[in-house]
Amino acid sequence: MARLALSPRTAFRLRTSKSEEPDAVDRTADARPDRSAPAERADRRRPLRALVRWTAMLCAFVFMVAFAVVLARLTLEPSPASKALVHTNLTPGHSLRAYLDQPELRDAVKQIGGNILLGVPFGILLPIVAPGTRGFLRILLLTAVVMLLVEFAQGALVTGRAFDVDDVILNTTGALIGYLLLGRRLSRAVHKRA
């Protein structure tokens, strides 16, 4: 039998016309995944994520303001009755030893634990309100500066209060504990990259 010889141009036309059949087009369209659906879902989630992030930041800001008010009330209110008892402490560890030498363990726990707890909210809320402060060293420095300012104000302006470097150390320790336990995770969750 004799074979029919086709020119290369005709052979190309025959091949392309077969692939343009409706069934072939439908099969290739069904085989490709629809990539627009995840993009549309992501577009719908972005405003929701932004709303959640801004709500979390607003709540953290409100709690930070409340914390500042509590801090001011606890540290900057005059205490004329204890004027004779207070003294300035510039030696790290001096007040801690005095707390631990007290006959009542409860008083030592109250002084040391209270100062540590006073710093915890700062370490939790600060990285949420200001994500640029996230990081162990940044939290350490910022907390130490704020607590130093509070202690300077206490010692210089408030009757019956004095500057105590051990309070700064304990408050900063509390902020670092709060940051490591909760602040870092919450900040990453709130300020998650899209």
The pLDDT tens digits along the chain (194 residues) read: 555 666 666 666 666 655 555 554 455 445 555 555 555 555 566 787 888 888 888 998 899 899 888 888 888 787 665 565 577 888 999 988 888 888 788 888 888 999 999 999 999 999 999 888 889 999 999 999 999 999 998 888 887 788 999 999 999 999 999 999 999 999 998 887 64
Residue 154 located in a structural domain: yes
Residue 6 located in a structural domain: no
Residue 13 located in a structural domain: no
Number of domains in the chain: 1
DSSP-based three-state secondary structure for 160: coil
**Predicted pLDDT at 2:** 55
**Predicted pLDDT at 194:** 45
- Give the structural domain span for 109: 47-190
Q: Look at the pTM and tell me if it is higher than 0.85.
A: no
Alpha-carbon gap, residue 57 to 71, rounded angstroms: 20
Q: How many CA atoms lie within 13 A of 37 on its CB side?
A: 3
Give residues with Cβ within 8 angstroms of 184, minimum separation 6: 127, 134
Residue 122 located in a structural domain: yes
Residue 158 located in a structural domain: yes
Nearest one of 133, 161, 163 to 148, comparing CA atoms: 163
Alpha-carbon gap, residue 75 to 158, rounded angstroms: 9
Residue 34 located in a structural domain: no
Alpha-carbon gap, residue 159 to 152, rounded angstroms: 13
Residue 27 located in a structural domain: no
What values do phi and psi take at 49, rounded to 5? Answer: -60, -45
Alpha-carbon gap, residue 163 to 173, rounded angstroms: 17
